[in-house]
């Protein structure tokens, strides 16, 4: 016997996220940052166990297929690509093109695009950069920032190529690195790059020590997707980013 049913006409705000197979952090951080009534729908893209420019660029071949795995019936107000370094390596415009080829959405963002948008809105022109990765990967990210008019005035890296180890870097190490980099040069903010880095929980402590905004990949991406979708004012306010913007 077929049972009767009705269709719920209410549509919640839905955002999509294409994150890395190796990422263990971004979904946890997003669920802390996003309002409870915003639905997060996630797909994954194959990613290498080690991070290099070659492994980052290789994701270009899979981004459209991964975006197609987001629910067909969803109405995604925006889709994020969860990789800071690959956004610099592949290019933000190309990332957006590939994701829109796989899923209908008016907006695509990524951590690099989000960081640039946040810096421009807050008047930040000089940042201290903390990266977990090897020099060639970090250099490409610095080039992307400087092309947008953002100077990297101080820099430090854990020089770790393994994603499995990056996610295990403890919060005290992340905190200490950000404070060291923030004190090593004249900067308006410090940015902790990598969606897999456990940085969100130490933002407030870093800001208390440095007296300037502390930004992380997941924090700025959640803010920017919220801005594009109209809910950024309801995100959990972790860090001065949400006060400044």
pLDDT of residue 244: 66
- Measured CA to CA, the distance from residue 111 to residue 56 in angstroms comes to 14
Number of residues assigned to the chain = 245
- Measured CA to CA, the distance from residue 165 to residue 110 in angstroms comes to 23
Q: Is the dihedral of CA 139, 141, 147, 149 positive or negative?
A: negative
What is residue 237's three-state secondary structure? coil
Task: Give the other-Cβ count within 10 Å of 221's Cβ.
Answer: 30
pLDDT of residue 245: 63
pTM (whole model) above 0.85: yes
- Measured CA to CA, the distance from residue 119 to residue 125 in angstroms comes to 7
What is residue 192's three-state secondary structure? strand
pLDDT of residue 166: 93
pLDDT of residue 54: 83
**Cβ–Cβ < 8 Å for 187, 153:** yes
Percent of the chain surpassing pLDDT 90: 86
Return the DSSP state at 232: G
pLDDT in tens, 124-135: 999 999 999 888
pLDDT of residue 117: 97
Residue with tokens 């930040």: 124
Q: How far is CA 21 from CA 59, 94, 97, 136, in A?
A: 11, 20, 21, 22
Concatenated DSSP letters of 21-76: TT-SSHHHHHHHHS-TTEEEEEEEE---SB--HHHHHHGGGTHHHHHHTS-TT--E
Strand arrangement of the beta sheet that strand 126-131 belongs to = 151-157, 126-131, 189-192, 214-216
- Point out the residues of the chain with pLDDT beneath 70: 244-245
Task: Give the other-Cβ count within 10 Å of 101's Cβ.
Answer: 12
Name 7's Cβ contacts closer than 8 Å, sequence gap at least 6.
none
What is residue 157's three-state secondary structure? strand
């Amino acid at each position: 016997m077929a049972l009767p049913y009705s269709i719920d006409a209410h549509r919640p705000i839905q955002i999509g996220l294409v994150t890395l197979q190796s990422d263990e952090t971004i979904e946890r951080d997003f669920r802390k940052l996003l309002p409870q009534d915003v639905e997060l729908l996630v797909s994954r893209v194959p990613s290498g166990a080690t991070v290099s420019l070659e492994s980052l660029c290789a994701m270009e071949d899979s981004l459209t297929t991964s975006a197609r795995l987001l629910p067909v019936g969803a109405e995604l107000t925006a889709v994020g690509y969860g990789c800071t370094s690959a956004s610099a390596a592949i290019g933000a415009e190309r990332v957006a093109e590939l994701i829109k080829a796989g899923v209908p959405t008016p907006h695509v963002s990524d951590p690099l695009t989000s960081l640039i948008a946040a810096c421009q809105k807050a008047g930040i022109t000089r940042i201290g950069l903390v990266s977990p990765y090897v020099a060639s990967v970090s250099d490409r990210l610095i080039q992307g920032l400087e092309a947008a008019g953002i100077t990297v005035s101080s820099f430090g890296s854990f020089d770790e190529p393994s994603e499995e180890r990056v996610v295990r870097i403890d919060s005290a190490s992340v905190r200490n690195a950000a404070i060291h980099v923030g004190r090593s040069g004249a900067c308006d903010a410090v940015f902790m790059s990598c969606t897999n880095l456990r940085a969100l929980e130490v933002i407030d402590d870093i800001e208390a020590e440095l007296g300037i905004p502390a930004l992380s990949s997941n924090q700025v991406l959640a803010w920017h997707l919220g801005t594009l979708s109209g809910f950024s004012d309801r995100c959990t306010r972790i860090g001065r980013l949400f006060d400044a913007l």
